Structure 1
């Protein structure tokens, strides 16, 4: 597996993977976010992809900050993390998180996850991320509810 900087040429593959992830897991919550522009947010400090056997199979980006309950000011935020269904169980998510942790260096790194993202929560907990807070989302999902968000900090934060 290779973790490398995301390239413009990765867009089509990433949108296809994201559409499948949305259909299977409900991520992203809004179907309207399954598009290149959502992945290429100009505010991101960096974005990386996982490549296995020449195919892009995962994505992760870093937001300049994560403002959330229990999260120290100045914490960088993990964003747009997803892995192709075909690559589940192969350590892709953990490898992408390791890359972002290396990028963050000594800066605190955190993330948020919705209450129904059971597999994602299990991954973060298995990797030693610490639950530091919860809150109801300010936005609504397709059912019109405000999901409960859980906030985690990286083990070394």
Structure 2
């Protein structure tokens, strides 16, 4: 591993710090989306304005989550290639890295489906189909976002295991 140091600044520590920060924010935003969304969904069809607010919140959270996924992927690539030093020869580390990438791909597909349901919810709100709108929001809030949380926690565990090999 090449160490690039400037005073107390070390590139390898910065990348790991950024990666951990991005993951923590990613998990926190998803948990916040579940909590916020469940608050807005609990009184179905009571107020149409609540749906507008919730869709706006999902859009904001979605943009932040997308940016964080990009940051996580970039820092993951840097960690794998910058910190390699022959560690990928170990079958355990290569299996961990492959599993982490599979989980990240699953998260990306899951987020894509959430985006699809979000767009569908916007369309149903415009056409005043409240039952379909509520169904789309329930799928996003109660099913796919908690699934992302569980997959993210599994990826965190694998990341901690991977760092043990470095």
TM-score bracket for this pair, using the shorter chain length: under 0.3
Q: Which has the higher contact order (CA 8 A, sep 6+)?
A: 2
Higher helix share: 2
What TM-score does the superposition give when structure 2 sets the normalisation length? 0.23
Question: More strand per residue: 1 or 2?
Answer: 1
**Rg larger in structure:** 2
